Structure 1
């Protein structure tokens, strides 16, 4: 990073955080006065936006519901050299913000993760047992699928540089955003630093918007969806291994040859894919090989020189998954 004064943006996505947003804004002014605080209000109905504006934040309204939608718009709108993001619920210590952004400012990291788990404060403060289990499960899946071990995946306390922010294709609409940030950083080989932070639970009267079950399922779907997009070869190999394992266990083998009359592989009556094979076989019988066009007679399918047509019919059997033709 250049010697010029870096532009720092503090990003605070918010939805109904009227009890805590004032303290979050004031803490940024106290511990990181050179930063511009951006509060993106996501359809709050409790006056969160008005309170944030009174405490010096730049307030922007985002109508598309969901944290992922908010973060996507933030990164599109805001230009900075260093971004630091926290939730508006005052569970993350702003007093440690300089420790979190230090690796970004000195150029040793592209993405910094505020780790709540290493020092035990999350286990001591968190009152929702399912959240801890879900975090551990997601960490394990990312380690298995992507080969990187995070100490805390679901944390909302993060920092990143301009290059990371502007190349992040935020796909998730909701609370899956933390998982997406983590996977993107690993898959694209960004430099990752994990900084231990203290965690404190929400104050009395403040409620979490995260649903352990429904949002947990969305996170798991996001992990496998990104794996399919980022590592398609791995998905194809895994699917092929599944098919081979099924064949080995059931003792079946697929025979792509057709019956002697050229009518194609056997397909049970009523199977909706029967028509596909029938059309392919009919096409091969009705339309002659280019070599014979104009001669009035289509080639015999059984003739050796027309094995290409027989192969075309036989290849149709690959459209049928799970149908087996006895060898003969």
Structure 2
């Protein structure tokens, strides 16, 4: 029996997190046991209470908001400590289709990949604001250039990891994780696959991502990660 842990980082997502948890397939394969871990990143609303009511197995709580990178790092580390043979991280805002988890983990279960990106841009994306679309294209292109490997969606908030990747991956800053994570994993020699997914824009809450945040946090982190090896 393989253990799959779904890691959901969440900051003030009481309006959407129950929908995400409810869409997680629990019995899609007879030899895969599915558990859900929510990382409460210092929420000031009822995110944690709603998640518990929705039936999660594990809660990891921060007393203050530390940032998405910190929440993802802690959540994936906890999944490894809980004995996960593989893990999925998915955003709590219901933009990504949790019911597609079986397709996203399939390349790892089949031994074809160690790390999977659920790509929004292998299909036609509707409704995404122009500045977000352009930002996604730019940072994905930057990863393609630096890694010399084709990627269609380097910014996705829906990813899967083998146990060995959970053990070895490093996220070097707290604001975000997307770019430095993929660089870190692929430069360690792990195999990447992408799986196409449908996508819908956020219906509730607000994204923490800002242009200023990227300039002051993400660019320096990419440079630091690139110089580490």
Same fold (TM over 0.5): yes
Q: Which of 97, 102, 105 lines up with 1:101 in the alignment?
A: 105
The answer to whether structure 1 residue 47 and structure 2 residue 46 are counterparts is yes
Q: Runs in 1 of length 4+ with deviation above 4 angstroms?
A: 29-33
Q: Which of 4, 7, 10 lines up with 1:8 in the alignment?
A: 4
Aligned to 2:121: 117
More relative contact order in 1 or in 2 (CA 8 Å, sep 6+)? Answer: 2
**1:223 Cα deviation (Å)?**
1.5
Structure 1 residues 216 and 153, CA gap change in structure 2 (3 angstroms): farther
**1:20 Cα deviation (Å)?**
0.3
Matches within 5 A, 1:60-99: 60-63=60-63, 65-78=66-79, 79-99=83-103
**1:220 Cα deviation (Å)?**
1.9
RMSD, matched Cα: 1.7
Moved more, 28-37 or 131-140: 28-37
Q: Which of 20, 27, 47 lines up with 1:24 in the alignment?
A: 20
Q: Distance in 2 between matches of 1:45 and 1:198?
A: 30
The answer to whether structure 1 residue 209 and structure 2 residue 208 are counterparts is yes
Structure 1 spans left out of the alignment, 5+ residues: 231-328
Structure 1 residues 30 and 105, CA gap change in structure 2 (3 angstroms): closer
Q: Distance in 2 between matches of 1:211 and 1:189?
A: 32
**1:62 Cα deviation (Å)?**
2.0
Q: Which has the higher helix share?
A: 1
Deviations 1:222-269 (A, max 9, x none): 221111112xxxxxxxxxxxxxxxxxxxxxxxxxxxxxxxxxxxxxxx
The answer to whether structure 1 residue 160 and structure 2 residue 156 are counterparts is no
Q: Distance in 1 between matches of 2:103 and 2:117?
A: 11
Q: Distance in 2 between matches of 1:36 and 1:30?
A: 8
Q: Which of 112, 117, 126 lines up with 2:128 in the alignment?
A: 126
Q: Distance in 1 between matches of 2:201 and 2:221?
A: 26
**1:145 Cα deviation (Å)?**
2.2
Q: Distance in 2 between matches of 1:113 and 1:179?
A: 12
Structure 2 spans left out of the alignment, 5+ residues: none
Deviations 1:252-288 (A, max 9, x none): xxxxxxxxxxxxxxxxxxxxxxxxxxxxxxxxxxxxx
Does the 8 Å CA contact 1:31/1:95 hold for their aligned counterparts? no
Matches within 5 A, 1:143-222: 143-175=144-176, 177-203=177-203, 205-222=204-221
**1:147 Cα deviation (Å)?**
1.1
Q: Which has the higher strand share?
A: 2
1:91 is paired with a residue of what secondary structure?
A: coil
Does the 8 Å CA contact 2:7/2:76 hold for their aligned counterparts? no
Does the 8 Å CA contact 2:18/2:50 hold for their aligned counterparts? yes
Aligned to 1:304: none
Structure 1 residues 22 and 125, CA gap change in structure 2 (3 angstroms): same
2:24 is paired with a residue of what secondary structure?
A: helix
Does the 8 Å CA contact 1:142/1:183 hold for their aligned counterparts? yes
Deviations 1:173-230 (A, max 9, x none): 122x111121112211210000011111111x42112113323542222221111112
Moved more, 150-159 or 211-220: 211-220
Q: Distance in 2 between matches of 1:157 and 1:28?
A: 13
What TM-score, normalized by structure 2, do the two folds share?
A: 0.90
**1:29 Cα deviation (Å)?**
4.9
